[in-house]
C-alpha cells in the first residue's frame, strides 16, 4: 500500500489545498516573488512493515502581475492542489526556479519511493 501527500510552506505558513477561488488567489499572491518549500510525505506498507519519509523542494515564483494571477485562478487548475498550483500544467508559467526534486512538486518523489522500496529499481 502506498500513500502520499504534499503541503506548501511559505514564511512559516502552511498552504494546503485552497477551499475556493478566493483562497486560491490568496495563495498564489502569497507565493508570488517568493521562494517556498514543497514538502512531500510518502508512506509504504508492505509485507506487514511500514516505512515513511519526507522530502523538501524549494520553488521560487516569478513576480506576477494581477492579470497573470487572475488568468491562472480562472483556469481552475488550482483545485485539489497544495499551494493552489500545479507545476506540471499551467502553473509552470508561475515558476522561476526549482531547487531539488521536481517530481516531489508534481506530487510523488520517485527518488524517495525507490529509497523506500529498493526492489522497484530497474523495473520498467
In terms of C-beta distances under 8 Å and separation of at least 24 residues, what long-range contacts does 14-22 make, across chains too?
A: 15/82, 15/83, 15/84, 16/82, 17/79, 17/80, 17/81, 17/82, 17/84, 18/78, 18/79, 18/81, 18/84, 21/73, 21/78
5 is catalytic: yes
Of the residues 5, 70, 101, 119, only one is catalytic, namely 5
Catalytic residue set? 5
Amino acid at each position: 500500500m502506498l500513500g502520499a501527500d504534499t503541503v506548501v510552506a511559505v514564511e512559516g505558513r502552511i498552504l494546503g489545498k485552497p477551499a475556493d477561488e478566493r483562497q486560491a488567489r490568496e495563495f498564489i499572491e502569497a507565493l508570488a516573488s517568493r521562494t517556498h518549500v514543497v514538502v512531500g510525505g510518502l508512506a509504504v506498507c508492505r509485507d506487514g512493515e511500514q516505512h515513511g519519509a519526507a522530502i523538501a523542494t524549494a520553488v521560487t515564483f516569478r513576480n506576477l502581475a494581477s492579470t497573470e494571477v487572475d488568468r491562472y485562478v480562472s483556469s481552475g487548475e488550482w483545485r485539489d492542489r497544495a499551494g493552489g498550483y500545479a507545476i506540471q500544467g499551467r502553473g509552470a508559467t508561475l515558476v522561476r526556479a526549482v531547487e531539488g526534486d521536481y517530481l516531489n512538486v508534481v506530487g510523488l518523489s520517485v527518488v524517495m519511493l525507490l529509497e523506500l522500496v529498493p526492489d522497484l529499481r530497474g523495473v520498467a
